[in-house]
């Protein structure tokens, strides 16, 4: 059966001549300006202690994290994913040192750098340019929503305009950008989520990651959840919304993720989201039943 949406695996097969490629989640030891006091000390309301990075290898040196992953997934090619916290938030010298590590692993064929839209200094772009010429590079920008009221609710402390500026600087250098979006932010209507997707169609990032709005333990969001300050989406509602978003998203944008994905140890709610494979299968089943696909209603 052909996929009803442009999967990340399909993209990887096309990009790397059908070789099996896996992403290595890495904590490169960066902090985040929204947590370390550069912008704020509070952090985004949903952010966990590990800054969305790997929890089991969190304290290991970068080289050891890579070696351990490769040891457990032999015979493949790899994308190094600098995932935890904000991976452009350091001096140029430190960034150079940390990125350079991946080049001593011959089976690493790409680098993915996760960061905030307001945290790539002008002096960093030439380094990204250089990296992009040496290896396949993608930069993952956490946007979450184009709507200021949602960015404020999440305590992102950056604006949509800052995202646009960074996005254009990366694209003008031919660097692939993957945009992170959150689905189900309290107070956002379906219409407003469609507007975010419509903007993605206009901007044409290389890919998007859809995250379910979910609660992790020991976060400000967890406190709010326990005080019943908002409602989470039920599984059926989420599937309904995701299918509608996919129908409206341009078919050439790669879908890197379709649900919330976090370790069970730090996950709080909603419970149904813990079964990631079930959620993805339910989305696929719904799309098959509706005879629909990514881009069917894209404008
Ligand atoms: S920008 Fe990312 S790392 Fe920083 S507080 Fe927000 S979610 Fe956490």
CA of 2 to the centre of ligand 1 (A): 36
Alpha helices in the chain (DSSP H): 8-15, 62-72, 92-100, 125-134, 148-154, 160-171, 190-203, 220-226, 235-248, 276-289
Looking at the domain assignment, is residue 266 inside a domain? yes
* pLDDT tens readout for residues 173-200: 999 999 999 999 999 999 999 999 999 9
Task: Quickly state the pLDDT bin for 1 (edges 50, 70, 90).
Answer: low
Decide: helix, strand or coil at residue 112. Answer: strand
Report the nearest-CA residue for atom 6 of ligand 1.
Answer: 44
Decide: helix, strand or coil at residue 24. Answer: strand
Q: What is the pTM of this model?
A: 0.97
Decide: helix, strand or coil at residue 54. Answer: coil
Domain total in the chain? 1
Report the nearest-CA residue for atom 2 of ligand 1.
Answer: 85
Looking at the domain assignment, is residue 297 inside a domain? no
Q: Which domain holds residue 210?
A: 8-289
Count of H helices and E strands in the chain? 10, 9
Q: At what angle do helices 235-248 and 276-289 cross, to 10 degrees?
A: 60
- Average confidence score pLDDT of the chain: 96
Find the CATH number of the domain harbouring 181: 3.20.20.70
Looking at the domain assignment, is residue 77 inside a domain? yes
| Pocket probe mutation, ligand 1, options 28, 29, 33, 35, max atoms within 8 Å of Cβ | 35
Looking at the domain assignment, is residue 299 inside a domain? no
Whether ligand 1 lies within 6 angstroms of the CB of 44 is answered as yes
Looking at the domain assignment, is residue 3 inside a domain? no
- Lookup: tokens for 283: 């989305």
Looking at the domain assignment, is residue 149 inside a domain? yes
Looking at the domain assignment, is residue 295 inside a domain? no
* pLDDT tens readout for residues 27-77: 999 999 999 999 999 999 999 999 988 888 878 999 999 999 999 999 999
Looking at the domain assignment, is residue 19 inside a domain? yes
């Amino acid at each position: 059966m052909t996929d009803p949406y442009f999967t990340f695996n399909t993209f990887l097969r096309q990009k790397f001549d059908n070789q099996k490629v896996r992403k290595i989640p890495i904590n490169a030891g960066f902090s985040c300006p929204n947590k370390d006091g550069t912008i704020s000390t509070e952090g985004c309301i949903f952010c966990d202690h590990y800054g969305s990075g790997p929890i089991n290898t969190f304290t290991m040196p970068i080289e050891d994290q890579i070696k351990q992953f490769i040891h457990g997934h032999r015979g493949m090619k790899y994308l190094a994913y600098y995932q935890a916290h904000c991976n452009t938030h350091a001096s140029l010298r430190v960034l150079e040192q940390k990125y350079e590590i991946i080049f001593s692993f011959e089976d690493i064929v790409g680098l993915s750098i996760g960061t905030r839209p307001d945290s790539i200094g002008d002096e960093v772009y030439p380094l990204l340019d250089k990296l992009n010429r040496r290896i396949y590079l993608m930069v993952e920008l956490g946007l979450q929503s184009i709507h200021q009221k949602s960015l404020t609710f999440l305590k992102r402390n950056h604006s949509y305009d800052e995202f646009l500026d960074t996005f254009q600087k990366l694209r003008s250098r031919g660097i692939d950008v993957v945009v992170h979006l959150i689905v189900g932010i309290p107070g956002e209507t379906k219409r407003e989520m469609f507007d975010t997707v419509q903007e993605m169609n206009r901007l044409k990032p290389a890919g998007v990651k859809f995250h379910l709005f979910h609660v992790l333990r020991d976060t400000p969001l967890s406190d709010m959840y326990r005080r019943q300050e908002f409602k989470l989406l039920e599984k059926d509602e989420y599937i309904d919304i995701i299918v509608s978003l996919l129908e409206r998203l341009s078919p050439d944008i790669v879908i890197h993720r379709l649900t919330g994905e976090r370790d069970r140890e730090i996950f709080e709610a909603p419970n149904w989201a813990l079964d990631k494979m079930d959620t993805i299968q339910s989305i696929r089943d719904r799309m098959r039943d509706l005879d629909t696909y990514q881009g069917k209603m894209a404008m």
